[in-house]
Chain A
Amino acid sequence: MKRTPLYHKHVELGAKMIDFSGWEMPVQYESILEEHITVRKSVGMFDISHMGEIKIQGKGAKKTVLYLTPVHEQKLVPKRASYSFLLNENGGVIDDLIIYTFSEETFILVVNAGNIEKDFNWIKENALSETRVENISENISAISIQGPHSTRISESLFSLELSNMKYYSFETNLEYRGSKILFLSRTGYTGELGFEIYTRPEDVENLWDELLTLRVKPCGLGARDGLRLEAGMPLYGHELNEDITPLEANLRKFLDMERNFIGKKALIERVVEKRLVGFKMIDKGVPRKEQKIIYQGQEVGYVTSGGYSPYLNEYIGMGYVKNNGIESEINIDMRGKEKRAVITALPFYRKG
């Protein structure tokens, strides 16, 4: 299994390590719920060095990004990050990712750890002329600082005013005690105010240690999953996969349907058969991936994610149901017992 440069730090802190898409990562340090609540109330940090980075450069880079993703062109301006996807010819999601625009000719795509090879191959195969594609995942590590106190913490690291930094913007050429910071973005996967700091692998340990002395709580993948679920954010392999389109996943606002890109034709032609919904349990119980969703006695869909929400003190979930006629009350089949739930607008929680 692969390890990030912070692996030994996690073990030292007593983290419980798990296999996450081939990476040995911390799922929790002490308590998933405590870590979750810390991010909502003060500040926590996550090792996200396992994420992949693919650099697209050259005169054809912008055209390539526009051809490979459905991103709105006006969002491809320097120092701006955009959430987008790689789509296949059927409109299915190969991966969801963030595009960092450095210039007209330089882009970095931050992709899911489990999809790095697949994405890299797809991008190489489909890149237009005058474009260089490079997998730079091994050269970049990252820490995500999330929570209402994350601005104060990040400001104290860089002696920089960050409170006016816009959501999904980023800064480059920062330094921290002689260590080069590749980029710092106002992004995250928690629905909370937060920053992600991308560094060289040899610099990430210093940064982690400094954050520990600033009493930023280390948080694992367990808390990260609960936080993104409350924020109604999709997780690849759960809400998204190669058979699901962004339209089904309620992500239409990220699609520029005015221009051409791979998968566009299918998005127009394909019948939207299912849609992603959020739900809260009326009867108690924790919804889990793949449990059946029942409506008026008929199986109409399946759960993609579920859990206990400490913020709401309720059991919540997301899942796909048939696109028409399913409203308000549904049942979730939990180990043979049908439990009542109510369809709820997403997100369950969103601050930043």
Chain B
Amino acid sequence: MIPKDLKYSKEHEWIKVENGVGTVGITQYAQEQLGDIVFVELPSIGREVEKMEAVAVVESVKAASDIYTPVSGKIVEINEELNSSPNLINEDPYGKGWIFKIELKEPKELDELLSAEEYERLITEG
């Protein structure tokens, strides 16, 4: 259930890195906790961000949650589809529900993130 090829943050974001660019979204567990997502505030393209900076906001029926970038870098792409279909995050959190792409500044930061096994432990043990 938790994809093996991704890295995870303790705040329930996932990142998949290809050719120095990371795709970031929130996990299945996170979308279940949030419930129906009705709005996503996306970051602007070109914005330089530091690891753990709040860069997006995901609003569910119940509450607004900050989305933190798990790595430092420059936002290079955002998922515009979320503007009209924010529920893609509920339906396909690891696929069509991705939120933004970031060009990594310090690839070493990836080592500080959790593996799939470690993340699974985090959500099952709390």
Report Cα–Cα, A108/B36, bound state, in Å: 37
- Whether the pair B39, A315 counts as a contact (CB closer than 8 A) is yes
Stretch in A131-139, A143-151, A281-289, A318-326 touching the partner? A281-289
Contact size range, A: 10 to 19
Residues of B in contact (CB 8 Å), total 12
Report Cα–Cα, A334/B57, bound state, in Å: 11
Cβ-based interface call for B41 (8 A): yes
Cβ-based interface call for B3 (8 A): no
Cβ-based interface call for A85 (8 A): no
**B38 is contacted by which of A27, A28, A308 (Cβ under 8 Å)?**
A308
**Least CB distance, B97 to chain A, in whole angstroms:** 15
**B36 is contacted by which of A31, A285, A288, A334 (Cβ under 8 Å)?**
A31
Contacts of A285 in B (CB 8 A): 39, 41, 59
Main secondary structure of the interface of A (DSSP, over half): mixed
- Whether the pair B64, A226 counts as a contact (CB closer than 8 A) is no
Question: What total of A-B pairs shows CB separation below 8 Å?
Answer: 39
Report Cα–Cα, A173/B35, bound state, in Å: 41
Given contacts A285-B41, A335-B57, contact A27 B36 (CB under 8 A): no
Taken residue by residue from 292 to 309, chain A's Cβ proximity to chain B (1 for < 8 Å, 0 otherwise) reads as 000000000000000110
Contacts of B108 in A (CB 8 A): none
Cβ-based interface call for B4 (8 A): no
Residue contacts A-B, CB under 8 angstroms, 22 given: A28-B35, A31-B36, A32-B35, A32-B61, A32-B62, A33-B36, A33-B38, A222-B62, A284-B39, A284-B41, A284-B83, A285-B39, A286-B64, A288-B64, A307-B38, A307-B61, A308-B38, A308-B59, A308-B61, A315-B39, A335-B57, A335-B64
Point out residues on B near A: beta carbons under 8 Å: 35-36, 38-39, 41, 57, 59, 61-64, 83
Point out residues on A near B: beta carbons under 8 Å: 16, 27-28, 31-33, 222, 226, 284-286, 288, 307-308, 315, 334-335
